[in-house]
């Protein structure tokens, strides 16, 4: 197993009608990536799909993939394409289940959102909303998951 220290939460930033297979196909076939963006994809009904072995690097956060596990829920935008936290209750429960499972296997992993990799421009120790280079996963993952 590679050395992992962080779980990164993403949204798909697309339709909630998409499936995990649609997203993997998009990464591998349309974008022609060598590996998909996420290890786990959580479908709107709470179905957890393991899309890539955690032992292998996925393609979720440029420059950080070696030591992270990427988890994505399907959703994250409204009908107009605006960022929104539209996780279903089943997805919220499934994300927690994945975090617990991964921590039981790999120890006390940190949990952050993709947007938390934005540069801390004013160096105050946190990524403020104006510093975010993207909204993914469209909610604040650090306070929500680091206390579970």
What is the closest distance, in whole angstroms, from the C-beta atom of residue 132 to Zn ion in the complex? 11
Residues 68-97 that bind Zn ion (CB under 5 A): none
Do 74 and 44 form a contact (C-beta atoms < 8 A)?
A: yes
**Selected range binding Zn ion among 5-13, 17-25, 40-48, 87-95, rule: CB under 5 A:** 5-13
**Selected range binding Zn ion among 9-17, 47-55, 84-92, 98-106, rule: CB under 5 A:** 9-17
Beta strand extents in the chain (DSSP E only) = 6-11, 40-42, 48-50, 68-73, 110-113
CA distance 32 to 15: 21
CA distance 82 to 77: 5
Asked if 114 is part of the footprint of Zn ion (rule: CB under 5 A), the reply reads yes
What is the closest distance, in whole angstroms, from the C-beta atom of residue 31 to Zn ion in the complex? 14
Count of positions (residues) in the chain: 148
What is the closest distance, in whole angstroms, from the C-beta atom of residue 133 to Zn ion in the complex? 11
The residues binding Zn ion (CB under 5 A) are 10, 114, 136
């Amino acid at each position: 197993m590679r050395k992992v220290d962080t779980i990164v939460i993403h949204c798909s930033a697309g339709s909630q009608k998409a499936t995990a297979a649609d997203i993997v196909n998009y990464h591998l076939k349309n974008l022609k990536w060598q590996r998909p963006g996420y290890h786990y994809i959580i479908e709107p009904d709470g179905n957890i799909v393991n899309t890539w072995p955690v032992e292998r690097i996925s393609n979720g956060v440029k420059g950080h993939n070696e030591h992270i596990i990427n988890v994505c829920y399907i959703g994250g935008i409204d009908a107009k394409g605006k960022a929104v936290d539209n996780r279903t209750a089943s997805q919220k429960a499934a994300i927690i289940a994945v975090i617990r499972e991964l921590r039981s296997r790999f120890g006390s992993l940190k949990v952050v959102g993709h947007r938390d990799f934005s540069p801390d421009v004013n160096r105050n120790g946190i990524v403020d909303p104006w510093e975010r280079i993207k909204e993914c996963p469209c909610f604040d993952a650090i306070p929500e998951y680091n206390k579970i």
